[in-house]
């Protein structure tokens, strides 16, 4: 149980301070009452007026009062109300008994008045510590008993309430006690009203706070719902655009395959009779099929990543060999557009880091394919690889292509998103390449940064943390290069596999 003397903050601190002051006040009254009892004992002894009752009761009462107030003080007010009840019972009984003995048996109005004053102190303690109705009832009982004793004395001793000084003194004493009772009742009622108003104000404040918090939570939830709705609408719109685009992308090579096949099926009776033209149509059929397979492969890869996630297996890998193999995979596409592929790194095949070779090669191939796709004829694509002191690897794929506007850069990694403007008109694709790249980079704990200027080109920067393995040395052998190329070929589409026929990469 928390002691009322423990300090708090705000209203709690104020309430604890008030209760502590009240406890100290009651304790001081108790000690003063005990001191008054001791004084009364020696005062009556000096005046040779000490009777048997006073001689026995006063020392006991003084000790009991001292013990009670000491207990309240030590307990820090925990037993304040029981102590007040006990003091009321003992004190009121002693005071009324002493007043009765002084008036009816000793005819001593002065001694009775001395003890009647302490009845007022008892009444104050009652109103300070108990509920108003309880304190009012007990104080009223004391007042009635005091008035009855005084009036009985006047009746028995035939004391005039008007003409006799003793009667006038007792009447004034009764009236004063009644005034104190009324005043304490009014103050107690005011205190209860103040407490009710304070409680009501606190409840209103708490209610307002809760309403504000609820409104804030509701507003946050509404914002989240709006964001989710916007995201869902954007995703739905992107999927619709993707389906429309894929419908066109898949129908175009299919129509070409079917059309050229029908022409060739006619044989010598058809429109094409020369072997050269037939070989040209067969080549067109082959390229259309490879293009369609490339689209389907990319869609299936994205679906696999979405459903199964990405699992990476970091093993010691030669970064230069992976980069060279990736460049060879896009070299045919680059040659077709007379694009110059430039490699730039200051280490050889002996530099080894721990990473996932399949994920890294797919990242590079996708970035290079995008660069070739959006770079005009005669452009340049540069691959820069740099090492950092902490073992991280930074890979940059920069092109001199059409570029991307600033407001569209943040969208290009979203699934199915494709830049639609004059510069990219006529360029096909699934809109999944960069989305797959970003997912793979995230799986490698890396970061993708894209810088672009419309009309000047784009630079994709991949930062992948990796710890160099200095104990491993990769020899530059044709067998290892062929093994890596074979591994990449196993995961490549037919169009990509064709690139391995061209092993010369142009350098500057």
Q: Report pLDDT digits (tens) over 173-211.
A: 888 888 888 888 888 887 777 777 878 888 888 888 888
Cα–Cα dist 374/379, whole Å: 10
The CA-to-CA distance between both ends of the chain, in Å, stands at 83
- Residue 399, classed as helix, strand or coil, is strand
Decide which of 61 and 307 is more confident: 61
Residues 122-153 as b/e (b if ≥16 CB within 10 A, e otherwise) read bbbbbbbbbebeebbebbeebbebbbebbbeb
- Closest by CA to 496, choosing from 352, 356, 325, is 325
Cα–Cα dist 395/367, whole Å: 11
**Residue in this structure with the two tokens 């001191």, named with its chain if needed:** 35
DSSP summary character for residue 57: H
- Residue 471, classed as helix, strand or coil, is coil
Cα–Cα dist 207/447, whole Å: 47
So what's the pLDDT on residue 314?
A: 85
Task: Give the domains, in start order, of the chain with CATH numbers.
Answer: 10-209 (no CATH), 237-304 (1.10.287.130), 312-501 (3.30.565.10)
pLDDT for 419 beyond 70: no
Q: Report pLDDT digits (tens) over 387-406.
A: 877 777 888 999 998 888 88
Q: Report pLDDT digits (tens) over 239-273.
A: 676 666 666 566 666 777 787 777 777 766 656 56
List own/partner pairs for 292-300 with CB under 8 A and 24 or more apart. Answer: 292/250, 292/253, 292/254, 292/257, 293/493, 293/494, 293/495, 294/493, 294/494, 294/495, 294/496, 295/246, 295/249, 295/250, 295/430, 297/493, 298/430, 298/432, 298/433, 298/436, 299/246, 299/430, 299/432
pLDDT for 483 beyond 60: no
The mean pLDDT value of the chain amounts to 75
Q: Counting Cβ atoms within 10 Å, is residue 354 exposed (0-12), middle (13-18) or buried (19+)?
A: middle
Distances (CA, A) of 399 to 161, 371, 396, 449: 119, 6, 10, 14
DSSP summary character for residue 339: P
Q: Report pLDDT digits (tens) over 421-470.
A: 545 545 556 677 787 888 888 888 888 888 888 888 999 999 888 654 44
So what's the pLDDT on residue 420?
A: 60
Decide which of 297 and 382 is more confident: 382
So what's the pLDDT on residue 51?
A: 74
Contacts of 403 (CB under 8 A, 6+ apart): 423, 452, 453, 454, 455, 456, 457, 458
Contacts of 386 (CB under 8 A, 6+ apart): 345, 346, 393, 394, 396
CA angle in degrees (0–180, nearest 5) for 40-43-46: 150
So what's the pLDDT on residue 327?
A: 87
Q: Report pLDDT digits (tens) over 71-89.
A: 777 777 777 777 777 777 8
Cα–Cα dist 294/355, whole Å: 26
């Amino acid at each position: 149980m928390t002691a009322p003397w423990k300090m708090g903050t705000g209203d709690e601190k104020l309430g604890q301070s008030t209760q502590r002051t009240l406890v100290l006040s009651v304790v001081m009254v108790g000690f003063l009452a005990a001191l008054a009892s001791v004084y009364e004992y020696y005062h009556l002894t000096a005046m040779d007026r000490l009777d048997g009752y006073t001689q026995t009761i006063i020392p006991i009462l003084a000790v009991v009062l001292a013990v009670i107030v000491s207990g309240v003080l030590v307990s820090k007010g925990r037993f304040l109300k029981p102590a007040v009840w006990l003091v009321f019972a003992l004190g009121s009984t002693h005071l009324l008994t002493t007043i009765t003995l002084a008036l009816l048996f000793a005819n001593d109005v002065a001694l009775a008045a001395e003890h009647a004053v302490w009845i007022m102190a008892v009444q104050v303690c009652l109103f300070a510590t108990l509920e108003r109705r309880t304190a009012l009832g007990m104080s009223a009982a004391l007042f009635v008993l005091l008035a009855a004793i005084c009036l009985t004395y006047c009746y028995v001793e035939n004391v005039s309430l008007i003409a006799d000084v003793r009667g006038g003194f007792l009447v004034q004493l009764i009236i004063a006690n009644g005034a104190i009772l009324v005043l304490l009742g009014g103050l107690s009622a005011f205190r209860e009203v103040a407490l009710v108003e304070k409680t009501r104000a606190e409840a209103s404040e708490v209610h307002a706070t809760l309403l504000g918090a609820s409104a804030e939570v509701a507003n946050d939830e509404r914002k989240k719902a709006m964001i989710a709705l916007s995201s869902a609408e954007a995703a739905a719109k992107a999927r619709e655009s993707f389906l429309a685009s894929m419908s066109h992308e898949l129908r175009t090579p299919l129509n070409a395959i079917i059309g050229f096949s029908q022409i060739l099926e006619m044989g010598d009776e058809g429109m094409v009779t020369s072997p050269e033209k037939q070989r040209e149509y067969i080549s067109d059929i082959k390229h259309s099929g490879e293009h369609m397979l490339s689209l389907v492969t990319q869609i299936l890869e994205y679906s696999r990543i979405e459903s199964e996630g990405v699992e990476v297996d970091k093993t010691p890998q030669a970064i230069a060999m992976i980069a060279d193999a990736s460049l060879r995979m896009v070299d045919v596409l680059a040659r077709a557009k007379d694009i110059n592929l430039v490699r730039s790194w200051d280490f050889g095949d002996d530099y080894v880091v721990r990473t996932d070779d399949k994920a890294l090669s797919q990242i590079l191939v996708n970035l290079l394919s995008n660069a070739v796709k959006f770079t005009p004829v005669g452009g340049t694509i540069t691959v820069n690889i740099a090492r950092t002191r902490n073992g991280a690897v930074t890979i940059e794929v920069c092109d001199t292509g059409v570029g991307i506007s600033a407001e569209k850069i943040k969208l290009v990694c979203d699934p199915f998103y494709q830049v639609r403007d004059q510069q990219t008109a006529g360029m096909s694709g699934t809109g999944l390449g960069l989305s797959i790249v970003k997912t793979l980079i995230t799986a490698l704990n890396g970061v993708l940064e894209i810088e672009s200027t419309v009309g000047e080109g784009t630079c994709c920067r991949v930062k992948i943390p990796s710890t160099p393995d200095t104990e491993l040395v990769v020899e530059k052998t044709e067998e290892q290069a062929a093994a890596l190329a074979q591994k990449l070929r196993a995961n490549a589409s037919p169009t990509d596999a064709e690139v391995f026929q061209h092993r010369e990469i142009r350098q500057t």
